[in-house]
A = this chain, B = another copy of it.
Amino acid sequence: MLGMALTAAGPDAGVDEVLLLDASPGVAQESLERGAGHRVSASLDDALSADTIVLAIPVDEIVRWLHDHGASVGAGALVIDTGSAKRGVVEAMRRTVPGHAHSMGGHPVAGTELPGPAGADPARLAGATFVLCAVRNDPEAAARSRALAQAAGARPFELDAGEHDRVIARTSHLPHLAACALATVAGALVEGGGDAPRLLASTGFAGATRLAAGDPTMVSSFLRANAREVSAALADLAAELALLGRALEDADPAALEEALAAGRASRRAVG
Q: Which residues from B are CB-within-8-Å of A211?
A: 204, 207-208
A183 to B256, CA, bound (A): 15
In the complex, A65 has a CB within 8 A of chain B: no
- The distance from the CB of A146 to the nearest CB of chain B, in whole angstroms, is 15
Q: Which residues from B are CB-within-8-Å of A213?
A: 264, 267
Q: Which residues from B are CB-within-8-Å of A188?
A: 170, 236, 266
In the complex, A111 has a CB within 8 A of chain B: yes
A129 to B200, CA, bound (A): 7
User: A270 near B198 (CB under 8 angstroms)?
Assistant: yes
A233 to B248, CA, bound (A): 12
Q: Which residues from B are CB-within-8-Å of A201?
A: 109, 171-172, 270-271
User: A189 near B270 (CB under 8 angstroms)?
Assistant: yes
Q: Which residues from B are CB-within-8-Å of A263?
A: 179-181, 183-184, 187, 209, 212
Q: Which residues from B are CB-within-8-Å of A198?
A: 269-271
Q: Out of B110, B214, B241, B271, which one reaches A177, CB within 8 Å?
A: B241
Q: Which residues from B are CB-within-8-Å of A203?
A: 124
Q: Which residue of B lies closest to A124 (CB)?
A: B203
In the complex, A38 has a CB within 8 A of chain B: no
- The distance from the CB of A142 to the nearest CB of chain B, in whole angstroms, is 17
Q: Which residues from B are CB-within-8-Å of A205?
A: 171-172, 175, 270-271
Chain A positions within 8 Å of B, measured between CB atoms, are 60, 109-111, 113, 124, 128-129, 131, 157, 159, 163-164, 166-168, 170-172, 174-190, 195-214, 216-217, 219-220, 223-224, 227, 230-231, 233-234, 236-238, 240-242, 244-245, 248-249, 253, 256-267, 269-271
Chain A to chain B: the 8 pairs with minimum beta-carbon distance, closest first: A187-B266, A180-B263, A216-B260, A175-B208, A183-B267, A181-B240, A129-B199, A216-B261
Cross-chain pairs A/B with CB under 8 angstroms, 21 sampled: A128-B202, A157-B196, A167-B189, A170-B189, A172-B205, A175-B204, A177-B241, A177-B248, A178-B181, A178-B241, A183-B267, A185-B236, A204-B211, A209-B263, A209-B271, A213-B267, A216-B257, A216-B258, A223-B256, A234-B248, A237-B241
